[in-house]
Structure 1
C-alpha cells in the first residue's frame, strides 16, 4: 500500500512581465505583456510506501520544495495527479500564521488551529508544545521580542507535536542550536519508529542518510536518480564535484591569462624555474575537485636556465585552509636521483590515494639544491577541494578496519 503516489506530475508557474498596472494601461496597452513559463517539475513520478522515510535532495531551484507543496496541497499540479492516504502534516512554512503582537501561548493556539486542531485538542497538548520548545520563560510575551531561533523553535514545536500519518519536512533539520537540532532529529526518529510516512527535503546529507530508507535526487525538475541513500548521495556529490571542477577550470583559465608562472620572477637563483603546475586525475584530465581516496597526479613543468648537474631536488607540500601542513616530501627524501636535467621537461608526482578529508587545500612546489638553497619556489600555486560521502573528522583518512572480538 502506497501512502503517497505522485503520478506524471508537472507544475507550471506563469510570470507576467510588462503587465499593465492601471486601468488606462490595460485599455491602451492591452495584450502587450509577456508571459514567461517556469516549469519547476516535469513529468515526475514517485511512490512512497506506508511507513517509509524518503529524502529529496538536489540543488536550490531543482523543484524539491515545489514537490512538497504539491503533496501538501498548498498548490496543485497542472498535469498528473497526487494521491495521499492518511492525515498529512507539513513542516514547510514554519511560523505561518504567527502574529508578532500576540504572545507565544496565543500563537500556539492560532498556529495549531491552522493544522486543524480544536481548542480542546490544543489544551491537551499545549504543555508538551511549550516543554519541547524550551521557551517556558518567554511563552507569555509577544513573539516580536523573540530571536529568530526562538521563533523557529516555537513554530517547529507546534508542528511536531501532532500525530500525522504523513509528515512532510522542508529544511527544518537546522532549526535552533545544536541541542535543539538533536532533539528535533530524535523526534523525527520517533515518528519513524511509530510507522509514520516521512518525506524530507534537506541539504543536510548526513541527516538524510541516517534517517531515510530511500533517497530521490531531483535535478532541474526531473528525477535524476533514486535508490539507497548512500548510492544516491554519492552520485549527487560526484555530480556537484564535476560541476564545481568545471567552474574551477574556467576560473583557472581566466587567471592563467592574467598571470603566467613563467613570466613571474623566480623565488631563488632562477637556475631552474617552475613554469607550470597542474593537477590531474587518473585519466590524466585536469581536475581540482577530488573524492577522498581517488588517484591524483601533480604535473610540474620546469625550465633549466644553466647547468646544475645532479644538484637538483623537486619538492611538494599540501596545506589545508588553516595553514596546517598536511603532507610534504621531495625527490631527495624519497631517494630519487635526478641526473642530466633537460632544458625543459616535466616532473610527475603520483598520489595513489588522495586520502585528505573534506575541505579546501593549497599546493606549494619547490626546486632547490640538495643543501636547500632555492632555485625556485611557488607558494599556493594552485588550490583544490576534497569531498567525501562519509563525514569523518580530522585532516586525513587513514586506511583502517574494525574487529569485534
Structure 2
C-alpha cells in the first residue's frame, strides 16, 4: 500500500444474493422445493480508487448506485467478493443512526460503550466525556435512557462520539441530514476543522452544495461503476446531466405505457395571503415559482379571473436543488421562478384574489395556488 494513501481499492466487486419466495419451514421446502429462485445482484463492479491522507472526498450518485455499500466495505462491516480494500490509519464511521447504542442505557453510558468500540480506554473516555456531552448539546437528557431520544438527539450523540476518538479516517453516510439547521451547521463546521487538521474524510451525501464547499474531490458511482472522479464542480455537473437524462427517459416510458400522470407544483412567495398593499407604494412585485413534468405545461397568473400579461420567468436554483430527483430533466433552473410587476394604482381598492395555475397539455390543471390580498 502506498504510504501517501489512507484508502486503496483495487479491482473490487461486491455481489448480494437475493432469494425470492424462500421457504422458511421444512414443510415449505418439501412442498415448494421448485418454486423459489435466487438472483445475484452485482452492486459494485471493478472499483479502483485511491484516497490520499488528508483528503476530503464525497461519494455521489442516485439511490441504489452503490455508494453506501462502498462506504460499508471501507469500514470492513462487509467484505468484497473480488478485489481488495486496504486502509492505513485509525478509522471511525457514522453509517447508521445509533449503531452500537443500547436502548435501555443512558446517553452517558452509551458514550462509554460506543467510544470503547472505537478503541478508546476508560481513562481516555473520562478525559473527553465533558467535551462530547458539550458538543452534543443534550444537557440534562444525557442521563436519560436513549430509547427516549428523538432521531436528532441520536445523531447528536453519535456524531459527538465519532469526532472525539482521534481517528485518522472518518467515514460518514447521509445521517447528517438529520437534526435541526443549527446542529447541521455545527457539524459541518467541525468537519472543516477536522479537514484543516489533516484528517481523511469520506462522506456520502445528496447535498451537492456541501460537496462543493467541503470536498477536494467527488467520486460519482453510476449503476455500480466508478463513472467519474475529480474536481467536485465538474463531476457534479456531469452527474446532474445524467440524472436529467435518466429521469426524462423513465418518464417518457411511463407516459407511453399510460402509467404516468403528469404533475406540477406552483407557489406564491409574494404577496403573502391576506396581505394589505398600500396604493402609495405604486408598484408591487408578485412572484413565486412553478415546475411540472409536462413539457407542454403553461403558467397562468390571474387577478380576479383576469389573466395578467408580461409574466417574467426568472432563475430559482433553490427550487431546482430541492426538486432535482423528482423533476430532473423537466426543469430549467433559469425559468423556474415567475415575476410580475403591477401598478397598484391600476387595481381598485378592496379585496382581490391572485390565482397561479400550471395548465397541462390537455388543458387540465396540474397545480394551482390561490391567495387573497387587499389594496388600501
**TM-score of the two chains, using structure 2 as the length reference:** 0.69
Distance 1:251-1:15 versus aligned 2 partners, 3 A rule = closer
Within the candidate set 152, 156, 164, 2:155 is matched to 152
Bigger proportion of residues as helix: 2
CA distance in 2, matches of 1:178, 1:379: 32
CA distance in 1, matches of 2:148, 2:96: 20
Residue aligning to 1:172: 175
Provide the secondary structure at the position in 2 that maps to 1:117: coil
Any conservation in 1 of the 2:177–2:184 contact (CA below 8 Å)? yes
Per-residue deviation, 1:254: 7.5
Residue aligning to 1:51: 54
Confirm whether residue 141 of structure 1 aligns to residue 144 of structure 2: yes
CA distance in 2, matches of 1:96, 1:108: 12
CA distance in 2, matches of 1:254, 1:79: 39
Confirm whether residue 121 of structure 1 aligns to residue 137 of structure 2: no
Within the candidate set 14, 18, 21, 1:15 is matched to 18
Provide the secondary structure at the position in 2 that maps to 1:329: coil
Confirm whether residue 381 of structure 1 aligns to residue 359 of structure 2: yes
RMSD over equivalenced CA pairs, Å: 3.4
**TM-score of the two chains, using structure 1 as the length reference:** 0.64
Per-residue deviation, 1:243: 2.7
Any conservation in 2 of the 1:91–1:168 contact (CA below 8 Å)? yes
Q: How many residues align?
A: 292
Per-residue deviation, 1:55: 0.5
Within the candidate set 2, 8, 17, 1:5 is matched to 8
Give unmatched runs, 5+ long, in structure 1.
Answer: 260-287, 290-297, 301-315, 320-326, 331-350, 364-377, 384-405
Per-residue deviation, 1:258: 10
Residue aligning to 1:388: none
Distance 1:250-1:15 versus aligned 2 partners, 3 A rule = closer
CA distance in 2, matches of 1:90, 1:17: 32
CA distance in 2, matches of 1:97, 1:317: 51
Any conservation in 2 of the 1:362–1:381 contact (CA below 8 Å)? no
Within the candidate set 180, 185, 204, 1:182 is matched to 185
Confirm whether residue 199 of structure 1 aligns to residue 202 of structure 2: yes
Distance 1:123-1:328 versus aligned 2 partners, 3 A rule = farther
Per-residue deviation, 1:179: 0.8
Question: Structure 1 stretch 172-181 or stretch 73-82: which is displaced more?
Answer: 172-181
Give unmatched runs, 5+ long, in structure 2.
Answer: 263-291, 302-307, 321-330, 339-355, 362-376
Within the candidate set 290, 303, 310, 1:329 is matched to 310
Residue aligning to 2:364: none
Any conservation in 1 of the 2:13–2:82 contact (CA below 8 Å)? yes
Confirm whether residue 230 of structure 1 aligns to residue 233 of structure 2: yes
Question: Structure 1 stretch 61-70 or stretch 139-148: which is displaced more?
Answer: 139-148
Describe how 1:249-264 pairs up with structure 2 within 5 A.
249=252
Any conservation in 2 of the 1:362–1:380 contact (CA below 8 Å)? no
Per-residue deviation, 1:217: 0.6
Provide the secondary structure at the position in 1 that maps to 2:143: coil
- Structure possessing the higher radius of gyration over alpha carbons: 1
Per-residue deviation, 1:245: 3.1
Structure number with the bigger relative contact order (C-alpha 8 A, sep ≥ 6) is 2
Provide the secondary structure at the position in 2 that maps to 1:48: strand
Any conservation in 2 of the 1:102–1:143 contact (CA below 8 Å)? yes
Distance 1:87-1:12 versus aligned 2 partners, 3 A rule = same
Residue aligning to 2:249: 246
